[in-house]
A and B are shown apart, each in its own frame.
Chain A
């Protein structure tokens, strides 16, 4: 009876997932069935399916469990059941990352890969490559080469794709297969040709000349596979971009001609790829754009929705950079507004918004409003971005657009959507002072009913920053205090901080704020109470500079370094109080240009964009924490620890051409009293081993060489680092100077293949490097000031001041002057004073920074444009010598 009942239950659940209730331990027990003789293929296949299901659900196997399951699986090679064998391949691939002794199946897989059964061969290759490492690759190299040129296209493709994966672990070995891959490029199969081109490009991609040749050759060959042609277009684009960035691009390059000729290809895929490529090339002029846009225009009226979508999406992007080119398609786009596919319609409208005139904005906005509720969040974000662009383009329309945005803000939507709306409103507030009050009012209303903590915190912070400077700061207090009553702890804490800002900036509100803060001291949450108490006691002192320092200005140090410093401090018990000055200041992250196409970039071919997007990510990470990463590296050199915390690191300076025998770059690290020069050297000669590599520098007057740390050994294509440590001169005026450097080393000839030196004898050699300068900027860390006016006034009382007037005869515009001054002084422009309103003939630039040793510098630069730029420079600093240095450096 009970069995019957269970059956019934199972039957009911049968419509669902048959693997729903399986458990790891039971399944692993079941793998014992694999050891039975003879093997039962049906049962074993089922168990294997369960294992694969578990692994794909994210179940973690330990190494022992995986290894046991793996060895049990190897016994299934005795069965000749095709389905079971292919399941075993899948199992091997899944377990290859976890299990040990994978090598055991090498021979069995090699046998299948070279055997007669075609169903086995491709899958066996893929499994074999997943278990192979550098040491065992040599053993199967011969078979891989054969497989690449195999007549069976599935086998050949599998081998090619696997080779591509293998380049990650053994690039050099795969490079040797280039002849076979080349042969595969000529294959008749569409896929094989595509994959072969991918591998071929990957092998050669570090050698630009070779890639150039490859593209030139293949573009004349007329490839059969449309996929391969698309790939070729992408490679050509990348070459073109590289050419442009190195400055050698000419408008009628054969690469561009090739891409353009692809617009007349017979495959739609290729035509689109070519149009997309031309549109996205940075250098494309509107004349070159015309044929591409007209192709996209044709696609707009295609019966296939995918083509329409692709075309509109691309046009939408072009509208950002070349609105006038897209205007020609306006009629087609108007037709697409009523397209049954909402995604197409949204993109069409937003494109029109970007290209349209001010007069059509109202009409289009109405049309969007009619279907905005029908589209997905993702496309709503597209709409929001279009509105943001519109606001920047037509500042006068801000009231219409702002109303629309606030209506959208009240609608249902996910965090990302809401965040993008809030972002847009914030941008509008910052760009357009007229819109500030209405924008803040909308945001206030929004946080009244906002379920996203992160957004509410952000908006409260903005209110704290912008609110006190509006005409009627008091009206925001109610909204902020409501948060304290109604919200969760993080929001309450943010609200307390925002209120304190009002208290510090508006003296007439101070008594009320103090009452509210006093109430917050009774909060249930620690953080909120602590903040309230902290702000309350600071405001109570009525000490303006104190409030400026601790409320208006935030913490200026870099948080990770502070954490590390505090950790160190607690590790070594001492009586000395913790010194905030010894924590390195945070570098102000350079403003990233908001690039909506960055997301789309990832969708590009994995091979080509992988490198570029990877480097982009690296670049971003580097700007954020350059000091931190260098500090980490310098700490690993024991000789350098004694010089205190790292103050600032410069960008790397190339001291050689990039294509020379030895590549050297220099990074200047400033410590409070010392200058550390880090020389990263690369040896590009495969037949030389360098030892005792060091850089000799003609010491400028005043500097004292303290220590020299050579790089003991530098073999081929390795990067080694040598350091020089100087003491900064006492007199600050002498710290700015030029260094002439020479690379010195001991050369030992060696065998290029093994890297072992031929003999123990070597000879000394040297290599001239380019000169480099230590400037003022290397010794100044950028900091921001939220309220420059207050800081400046306060500094007037406590700091010393120096002023001077200069005439900058070699600069023609204010923009140029501002840019030069900022880069020369290496200080942070505050309050957006680096942006110059158009058509003005005078401008005030405000700069803030900290000199090594913790001396604060504030600079006010008044610029006036007559025939040339005249500049009045006022420096206030805690150290008179520093102020003098700044004024003299500019002159």
Chain B
């Protein structure tokens, strides 16, 4: 790395670019959350079930995020692992009104965390307890307990309740993520 790059990095002027992976069960609101962060002109009027994945870009406080918005449908979940290797952050979206499938979520989360490409590395994991507006939605605390998040010791994690339709709670989550990313990057350099 050249001197100039070092200097720019030190001052935090250079725009940072990170890849993040957005995963979660189907119909939990992943694409809707990503849609919220996009520029006005790029926003889609309607969200359809993703087949495979979509790449979207958005920015927050000088950090550029490239989000791999994965499909959550059962038969495509096996394909997530192809994208584990080069991600510098994971956003895990949970439908907090879907009590029934919380065990499925837990299973998928465990699989994700035990994967060789994930387990040894340190990067931030952000949980969105989405659909908090639904009447009998679980609170973020209950979800954290249900998923056993306290077991995650080697990665910084954060959970926040959100409503992707109105955008409530999303900004808070991304702020946390941005901060974590900055820390990890500056630690590394």
Contact = CB atoms under 8 A, between A and B. Distances in A.
A107 B53 contact: yes
Contacts of A71: 82
A77 B55 contact: yes
B48 to A, nearest CB: 8
B10 to A, nearest CB: 20
A286 interface: no
Interface stretch (A98-106, A383-391, A638-646): A98-106
A35 B53 contact: no
A104 B55 contact: no
Contact of A78 (B50, B51, B66, B79): B66
B103 to A, nearest CB: 26
B86 A75 contact: yes
B58 interface: no
B52 A78 contact: no
A69 to B, nearest CB: 12
A212 to B, nearest CB: 41
Interface residues of A, number: 20
Contacts of A105: 52-53
Contact of A108 (B19, B55, B66, B79): B55
B28 interface: no
Interface in A110-130: 110-111
B131 to A, nearest CB: 22
A103 B85 CA distance: 20
Interface in B57-102: 57, 66, 68, 71, 76, 79, 82-83, 85-86, 88
Contacts of B76: 103-104
A107 B51 contact: yes
Contacts of A38: 17
B interface: dominant SS: mixed
A74 B82 CA distance: 10
Contacts of A206: none
B18 A103 contact: no
B179 interface: no
A35 B52 contact: no
A111 B71 CA distance: 14
Contact of A101 (B54, B79, B85, B88): B79
A106 B70 CA distance: 11
B54 A111 contact: yes
Nearest to B81: A71
Contacts of A107: 50-54, 71
Given A37-B18, A37-B19, A71-B82, A103 B52 contact: yes
Nearest to A108: B54
A605 interface: no
A108 B83 contact: no
A540 B120 CA distance: 88
Contacts of A104: 52-53, 71, 76, 79, 82
Contacts of B66: 37, 78
B83 A37 contact: no
Contacts of B55: 77-78, 108
11 contacts: A35-B85, A35-B86, A37-B17, A37-B18, A37-B86, A74-B53, A78-B66, A101-B79, A103-B52, A107-B54, A111-B54
Interface of B: 17-19, 50-55, 57, 66, 68, 71, 76, 79, 82-83, 85-86, 88
Given A38-B17, A103-B52, 18 more contacts: A36-B86, A37-B17, A37-B19, A37-B86, A37-B88, A75-B83, A75-B86, A78-B19, A103-B76, A104-B71, A104-B76, A107-B51, A107-B54, A108-B53, A108-B54, A111-B54, A136-B51, A139-B51
Interface of A: 35-38, 71, 74-75, 77-78, 101, 103-108, 110-111, 136, 139
